Structure 1
Amino acid sequence: MSWSDHAIWWHVYPLGFLGAEHAALSARSAPVHRLPALTGWLDHLVSLGCNGLALGPVFAAETHGYDTVDHFRIDPRLGTEDDLAELVERAGERGVRVLLDGVFHHVGRSFGPFADVAAHGARSPYADWFVPESDDYRVFEGHRHLVALNHAAPAVADHVASVMEHWLDRGIAGWRLDAAYAVPRPFWRAVTDRVRRRHPGAWFSGEVIHGDYTAYVTEGGLDTVTQYELWKAVWSSLNDTNPHELAWALKRHNAFLDVFAPQTFVGNHDVTRIASRLREPRHLAHALTLLFTLGGVPSVYAGDERAMRAVKEDRVGGDDAIRPAFPADPAGLGEEGLDVQRLHQALIGLRRRHPWLVRAHTRVHTLGNAALSYTAVDPAGGSAVAVALNFGTAPVTAGVPAAPWAHAAGDTVIEPGSGKAVLPPLGWSVAVSAVAPD
């Protein structure tokens, strides 16, 4: 196993989490040293059972961080390069790796090379970095303030590789690649091959919402992509009391696992929080059980471990609610949601005891109108995990093959002799066995 097979990420959107201004500071303003405050959250991360800190954008930008103006400079609203280096060092002392968010599909309009092109046109040395379209330049999904880079230009590949190497040299573990789906896969292959020659242990996770997930790994050279198909199937199946949708997604998920370990999640900085997405609050335990017992590299979006609620809206400022400011330290969270935090700890603890789950295929045994049960077996050692879920409000019976099952979590016991579980309304159960079922 590589280090990434043991990774469980705690995902933070720093500009929001740390209460930064919504727009860039003036050129005359001194940096505001906010990043060091994240050091006070590292013990919280570790107490959950996580060992990775996945940071949203930290580079100089115009507003929300995805409009980068300088990939080599920390946003002054967050601090300085020394602040990031200190955070990486303090994280490393706790065995925590740091992942940075690389926005390499597009840039803000005040990005230095684009500003030069805007001023000098075809005479600019950066003219081939961007693609002219009508009276402007190609942009990202209709957003004029996000100018798309020309990924056919060798200089753009050189720039992106240089940025990646610069920060990997300073101790980060890898990159989340924003809007990876909008970048040609050969570009990713060229860049990642180059960077791996200097940093063979670097990990690359691409944001891929739709498309050929596997191709971004086999052709693009990435290690993984975001598993949006599974994310959607989890909350949609629970809301519709329809485990058939999830069972279909699990077949797809198994196929991905033949090639790579997808990055799994039930929440991130771009979507409505899972506690708000689910119509039935008791389904949150089901969603978390799925996240931590299915194959993949899981991540927890900061605040979801306390069942924070917020809805993403399709408007200017519509992300603000899901990217709030947090208190100075975990004590400021108070007591609300502690039961959900403890559930995270229990399920992550179970996963830590069965690290082979990262690449485990699932086999569905019961698939009814409201019932789903499945097992995952360690191909190397024969141990197994069994899960039984009741999506509905009437009791159901679900089963898995007989084995010496030991209860691990949930409100119901899977009987070791028969493998049967009689699940109460919205009930769930997780069991483990040192011996795989027949």
Structure 2
Amino acid sequence: MWAYHEVFYQIYPIGFCGAPLHNDGKTVSRIRRLDSWSAYLQDLGIGSILLNPIFESDSHGYDTRDFKKVDCRLGTNEDFKFVCESLHSHHVKIMLDGVFNHVGRGFWAFRDVQEKKQASSYKDWFHINFDGDSGYQDCFWYEGWEGHFELVRLNLQNPAVVDYLLECARFWIKEFDIDGLRLDVAYSLEHNFMRKLRSFCENVKPGFALIGEVLFGDYNLIVNEEMLHSCTNYECYKGIFSSFNSMNMFEIAYSLNRQYGPEDWCLYRGKHLMSFVDNHDVTRIASILFNKAHLPLAYGILFGMPGIPCIYYGSEWGAEGVKAPDNDYALRPAFDEPHPNELTDFIRTLIAIRRKSDALCSGGYRNVVITNQQLIFERRTENEKIFVAVNASESQYTACSKELRGNYTELLINKEGTLSGSLDMPPYSVQFLLNL
């Protein structure tokens, strides 16, 4: 699976392109702004872009009106085809947000039910009770996703709904040549639907990647040979920033070992979960860390740990954004152009190191040294061993372990040395030591 060896770059297009918050019905070719970022993404070393919803919707994109039409606020289908061709020409694959659990109240099939009520051919596409009423006075009750009645839940046990969604996936592959889907609220989706989607997409385009949004629970339930290739690793997302803010590296070390460690009981060995330090739904890492000196260290862990790293647009140069109690607007800004800096250069180096490393892409995980403020872990395959060492302290620290022996190359600065049972860790430092 190609996704296991790539780094993803996530963009929320409606915000990124500066589109109106609510659909104004005006067609403006804003999506072409992505074309001007293609060369930047290639230079950064990005292997795939992950685009949040781009199809016609009522407002934020997750309230879909039409799965086969690019949102008019972003442009036309032809505009997006142009963008896809540009990204592919710069060796950047494309993953779209598949919102299959629910639609907006403006979705064409739901509008038909609003008009025709029980006479509608689409009434069984949703979870509807004609003996009740909705808060919108539709003269029928329907199930909204997690109590959000602007998001109308689809009935994924209805074969007609499943066939329609599969046909939409085929359309996106054939029209735009996309390479994968991120499944919104995958924890809410019918398991049989995900099985059918996996088989269907693989037949249409071999190697097609499916990555699910999962906030909690056992990831093995949906990440397996029959369903999804990967899902979002929220446990380690929390563990990364929390470990730095509480100066307790035991937290992230525990989570990583629990998921990927060498013991038989570890949960996800051999799997490739999508790892991240922020995204379109959470406060940006530069805003949530108490100590800005920990920012490059957080990315050091992200690129050193098992999983598929995903960068949220703008965070690679330290853009800030705080999640509000009632909206996510501050998390989803428009940038006229990239603003690379030293942090961007550091991340570019991390991406290049990971791209060439079998151990970082596919190796096992083992904790070597853990203190409150320092962490050294090993990534290893039969052919390669790398120590990732992080010092969150403002002071130098010397770590001691019988494991720290042998010749090495420090990959971040291309410096060779020898370990004799200890490692000097400068203040606020990250080291990637390739054991020779």
Say whether the fold is shared (TM-score over 0.5). yes
Give 1:79 shift: 0.8
Tell whether 2:308 aligns with 1:308. no
Aligned counterpart, 2:272: 261
Aligned counterpart, 1:68: 64
**Which one of 136, 161, 164 corresponds to residue 159 of structure 1?**
164
Aligned-pair identity in percent equals 34
Aligned counterpart, 2:204: 198
Tell whether 2:99 aligns with 1:103. yes
Query: In 1, Cα distance between the equivalents of 2:432 and 2:100?
Result: 41
> Structure 1's 414 and 149: CA in aligned 2 closer, same or farther, altered over 3 A?
farther
Give 1:219 shift: 7.4
**Which one of 140, 149, 155 corresponds to residue 144 of structure 1?**
149
SS in 1 for 2:399: strand
Query: In 1, Cα distance between the equivalents of 2:226 and 2:15?
Result: 31
SS in 2 for 1:53: strand
Map Cα deviations across residues 256-308 of structure 1 (whole Å, 9 max, x no partner). 54342111111111111011111111111211011111121111111011100
**Bigger shift: 389-398 or 282-291?**
389-398
Tell whether 2:426 aligns with 1:430. no
**Bigger shift: 47-56 or 190-199?**
190-199
Tell whether 2:381 aligns with 1:378. yes
Alignment of 1:97-246 (within 5 A): 97-132=93-128, 134-135=132-133, 136-170=141-175, 171-218=177-224, 221-246=227-252
Normalising by structure 2, report the TM-score: 0.92
Query: In 2, Cα distance between the equivalents of 1:214 and 1:238?
Result: 28
Aligned counterpart, 2:263: none
Give 1:120 shift: 2.0
2:366 and 2:379 in contact (8 A); partners too: yes
Give 1:180 shift: 0.7
1:257 and 1:359 in contact (8 A); partners too: no
Tell whether 2:14 aligns with 1:15. yes
Map Cα deviations across residues 119-165 of structure 1 (whole Å, 9 max, x no partner). 22222111111112552211112211111111111111111111111
Tell whether 2:323 aligns with 1:322. no
**Which one of 273, 295, 298 corresponds to residue 306 of structure 2?**
295
Alignment of 1:269-288 (within 5 A): 269-288=280-299
SS in 1 for 2:223: helix
Tell whether 2:364 aligns with 1:353. no
Letter in 2 for 1:390: N
Query: In 1, Cα distance between the equivalents of 2:344 and 2:42?
Result: 12
Normalising by structure 1, report the TM-score: 0.91
> Structure 1's 220 and 178: CA in aligned 2 closer, same or farther, altered over 3 A?
farther
Count of residue pairs brought into register by the alignment: 419
Query: In 2, Cα distance between the equivalents of 1:309 and 1:345?
Result: 19
Give 1:253 shift: 2.7
2:270 and 2:362 in contact (8 A); partners too: no
Query: In 1, Cα distance between the equivalents of 2:46 and 2:214?
Result: 23
SS in 2 for 1:35: helix
Question: Please, which runs of 5 or more residues in structure 2 have no aligned partner?
Answer: 134-140, 261-265
2:31 and 2:79 in contact (8 A); partners too: yes
Map Cα deviations across residues 148-192 of structure 1 (whole Å, 9 max, x no partner). 111111111111111111111120001011111111222211222
1:242 and 1:391 in contact (8 A); partners too: no
2:359 and 2:386 in contact (8 A); partners too: no
**Bigger shift: 205-214 or 256-265?**
256-265
Aligned counterpart, 1:80: 76
SS in 2 for 1:404: strand
**Bigger shift: 277-286 or 188-197?**
188-197
Tell whether 2:47 aligns with 1:36. no
Letter in 1 for 2:46: C
Aligned CA RMSD, in angstroms, stands at 1.9
